[in-house]
Amino acid sequence: MKPKHVLVDLRAQSKTFFRIKSNLFWVFAFPLLLIIIFGAIFSNLGSETVTLNVQDLDDGPGSFALLKGLNQTGMVKLRFIDPSTDLEQYIKDNSLAFVMVIPANYSDNLGTNTTATVELRMDETVSTSGTVYNVVNAVVDATNIQMSGGQEYVTIEVKSIVQKRFTYLDFFVPGVIGLTVMTTCVFSMQGTISRFRAAGIFRKLATTPMTPFEWLLSRMIWYLFISLLTLAIIMGFGILLFGMTMTLNLPALLLVVAGSAMFSALGMIVARFVKNEETASTAANAITFPMMFLSGTFFQMEMMPDYMQTIASVLPLTYLSQGLRDAMAYDNLNGAYWNLLVVGAIAIVFVVVAVLITKWEED
């Protein structure tokens, strides 16, 4: 293998890539548009306050002070539920996302320096749940400090099945990175191979000293570079515009490397078996489109029926997106490495198959 051949092809790719405007849109602008649109829809961007439903069973000076504090934050809009209302039924009937219950003995407990517990019922799948928790928590902290310099007289008991506090964007953005890696690599590789075949470029390259392996290597390096560039741009965008806290760590980088190799190889395999340019594009769509929706890019897989979850479990994008989420948003390194293992194994199989079946001489 001659590195010079790889460099020659990389140089040509870099020039070509940035000269085609549609490349810049699909690889960089489109993911950002997705984030803006879905972020706006699911993050309640533009609404100034979040509605917090309150059932005040105390109705005393203590609860009055707590509610006044919450009001003063300007971040929640309080909506009161009659103390005699059956709360469970009311939540169900009105599909409430956030309900705070102030117990009947709240003021009495504060008066006797006994811990009083405010119950906060939340639907964590709603993206603003983290905001609500933080606001209530801040007001409770302020109450504690005001009463005795740090002694916790008031505590919050969060009733929830899921304890993680992450926003929809925390979930969505790593998924968009995975999605972009997939579409960039599959479509670029499939499209390039189909186009080069039709244009006689492979026949021409076959008469040069460049080998198919050198060409494949160059392409995979280039798509990896584009994937990493996408990762950086999307991350920067999420941090600057949405104030997200995302971690760029080793497993995240390795996942992008393995994911890029996996999907580049998949693009090669598609192009090898479907020779017509248009049919190859349709085949690539047929493979990537279901993955886009079934692999949990836009919504959590737990929301899907069991049989769809089973399908998702065999789709490579599922593991790439979940791994990126674990690594970048959830701080779950064990989960990230497990998913990396799966993505890496699939990538090895795909790359080996792609290299074995790719040749540019005809039979």
**Residue 197 token pair:** 């075949």
Closest CB to other proteins among 158 and 206?
206
Query: Pick from 3, 16, 61, 349: which binds other proteins (CB under 8 A)?
Result: 16
> What number of helices (H) and strands (E) belong to the chain?
15, 5
User: CB count, 10 Å around CB of 257?
Assistant: 19
Please tell me whether residue 278 binds other proteins under the rule CB under 8 A. Answer: no
Please tell me whether residue 24 binds other proteins under the rule CB under 8 A. Answer: no
Burial 85-106 (b: 16+ CB within 10 A, else e): eebeeebeeeebbbbbbbbebb
Closest CB to other proteins among 5 and 325?
5
Closest approach of Cβ 362 to other proteins, in Å? Answer: 5
Query: Pick from 20, 33, 145, 345: which binds other proteins (CB under 8 A)?
Result: 20
Helix (H) or strand (E) holding 79: strand 76-80
- CA distances to 53, 56, 89, 114 from 85, rounded to whole Å, are 13, 11, 8, 27
Please tell me whether residue 15 binds other proteins under the rule CB under 8 A. Answer: yes
**Residue 297 token pair:** 């890019």
Helix (H) or strand (E) holding 117: strand 116-122
Q: Which residue has the tokens 């994008």?
A: 317
Closest approach of Cβ 29 to other proteins, in Å? Answer: 19
Please tell me whether residue 6 binds other proteins under the rule CB under 8 A. Answer: no
Please tell me whether residue 19 binds other proteins under the rule CB under 8 A. Answer: yes
Q: Burial level of 281, CB count in 10 A (0-12/13-18/19+)?
A: middle
- 217 Rama class: left (phi>0) / alpha (psi -120 to 50) / beta: alpha
**Residue 205 token pair:** 């390259």
Please tell me whether residue 22 binds other proteins under the rule CB under 8 A. Answer: no
Closest approach of Cβ 340 to other proteins, in Å? Answer: 35
Closest CB to other proteins among 156 and 206?
206
Interface mask toward other proteins for 208-237; x: CB under 8 A: xxx---------------------------
In sequence order, what are the residues at sequence separation of 6 or more whose Cβ sits closer than 8 angstroms to the Cβ of residue 107?
58, 60, 61, 62, 63
**Near other proteins in 190-209, by CB under 8 A:** 198-201, 203-209
Closest approach of Cβ 192 to other proteins, in Å? Answer: 10
How many residues bind to other proteins according to rule CB under 8 A?
Answer: 24
Closest approach of Cβ 24 to other proteins, in Å? Answer: 13
CB under 8 A: which stretch of 11-19, 54-62, 96-104, 110-118 binds other proteins?
Answer: 11-19
DSSP 3-state assignment of 7? helix
Please tell me whether residue 5 binds other proteins under the rule CB under 8 A. Answer: yes
CB under 8 A: which stretch of 1-9, 47-55, 148-156, 283-291 binds other proteins?
Answer: 1-9
Residues engaged in binding other proteins (CB under 8 A): 4-5, 8-9, 12, 15-16, 19-20, 198-201, 203-210, 361-363
